[in-house]
Amino acid sequence: MTKWTPRHEAPEPLEGNVVATITGGTIVWFVLFLVQLPFYGRLSDGGHLWWLWTCLAAGGLGLVGVWYVRKRDAAIKRHAAARDRERDAAESVPSEGETG
């Protein structure tokens, strides 16, 4: 049996507004929690109380996700800015034989 190898390069990952996506999803989970809250007794009687706590847990994890992607986005922007500064500095230094 041979090992499978891809025949073409993998596509680049899609980079969208990740912060907005995670924030929107987190809001949806908290809204779902609040919508189910008035039905606490009915959910408890029917054995579906885990629905309520799943929404709360997902909202809490979403807050962690928002914090994480904001830090990640800031780090990517800092890295790009540093790379641009290094490139600009390298272009402004005259090479040998040139007068500046």
Q: What is the pTM of this model?
A: 0.71
Q: Residues 75, 77, 15, CA angle at the centre, nearest 5°?
A: 95
Length of the chain: 100
pLDDT tens column, 1-53? 678 887 888 888 887 899 999 999 999 999 999 999 999 999 999 999 999 99
What distance in Å separates the CA atoms of residue 65 and residue 87, rounded to the nearest whole number? 33
69: number of Cβ within 10 Å: 17
How is residue 13 annotated by DSSP?
A: P
Tell me: pLDDT of 94 over 80. no
- Sequence-ordered list of residues with C-beta below 8 angstroms from that of 32, at least 6 positions apart, any chain: 55
pLDDT tens column, 41-87? 999 999 999 999 999 999 999 999 999 999 999 999 999 999 999 98
